[in-house]
Structure 1
Amino acid sequence: MPKAMPTLIKRYIDAYNAGDVDGMLACLSQDIRFTNITGGKVTAEASGSADFRTMAETALRSFSRRHQEITNVITVDAVTLAEISYSATPAQDLPNGWKAGTGVSLSGASLFEVKNGLIARLTDQS
């Protein structure tokens, strides 16, 4: 991970990679706004920590392995933009066409907005 990575975001990524939903939620505000955009289309959204928990737990069951690596980061005030290299192996066939057991890798970016010491908005785009 780049040295300029804010500690809060590093903790979130570490929890994500460990499959630790509680650890991820500890980094998020109660009113977290999460959006995932793939190929220019919104593919997942969550509003609030309960909604995010449901989404994260579903994602954990859908993948036998998943990993995010931050390759570059820019932080200005309360906003961090991170370039991410993502790899995963679906545990089941997914609606987007990914097949169970087939490795997937892609690159993208995540925007983290921090308010009151917690991540209040997270947008993933690939």
Structure 2
Amino acid sequence: MNQTIRDYFDAFNAGDTDAMLACLADDVAHHVNEGKIRVGKDAFAEFCAHMTRSYKENLTDMVIFEAESGTRAAAEYIVNGTYLATDPGLPEAHGQTYRLPAGSFFSLKDGKIARVVTYYNLADWIAQVSE
């Protein structure tokens, strides 16, 4: 199993953005589920700050897959979260909880994450926080 990917997810679950950033290449390309590609660690850090304000999440049931070349990896997991503050264009937040299957895909270069792509079902999330 790729240690960089494991460290990245361990840092995510610890809420440690600096440790997540340490796993990334300087020019990381961050492809978010419903948004534009962000390039660079600064853009990634801004995204993390926004997410920390609006959501508290913990990832469980993690399964990590790695290509034999060591340059690609993927992970499947469950996002267990609480919606803390309203995100513009989304339902009003009032501490709703959610449980959502998700996945991430990675490109690795020189031991760092050069690309991260995250997917989840936004309609499922909206339904859960709208109940």
Q: TM-score range by the shorter chain?
A: 0.7 to 0.9
Distance 2:65 2:18 in 1: 26
3-state SS of paired residue (2:104): strand
Distance 2:46 2:53 in 1: 11
Determine what percentage of the aligned residue pairs are the same residue: 27
- Bigger radius of gyration, 1 or 2? 2
Distance 1:58 1:17 in 2: 16
Give a deviation string over 1:96-117, Cα, whole Å, max 9, x none.
3263300011112100111011
Unaligned runs of 5+ in 1: none
Stretches of 4+ moved more than 3 A in 1? Answer: none
TM-score (norm 2): 0.81
TM-score (norm 1): 0.84
| 1:116 corresponding residue in structure 2 | 110
Cα pair distance change 1:45/1:68, threshold 3 Å: farther
| 2:57 corresponding residue in structure 1 | 66
Contact 1:112/1:123, CA 8 A, preserved across alignment: yes
3-state SS of paired residue (2:102): strand
Structure with greater helix share of residues: 2
Match for residue 45 of structure 1 among 4, 24, 37: 37
Give the aligned CA root-mean-square deviation in angstroms: 1.5
Unaligned runs of 5+ in 2: 121-131
List aligned pairs for 1:87-126, cutoff 5 A: 87-94=80-87, 95-97=89-91, 99-126=93-120
3-state SS of paired residue (1:84): strand
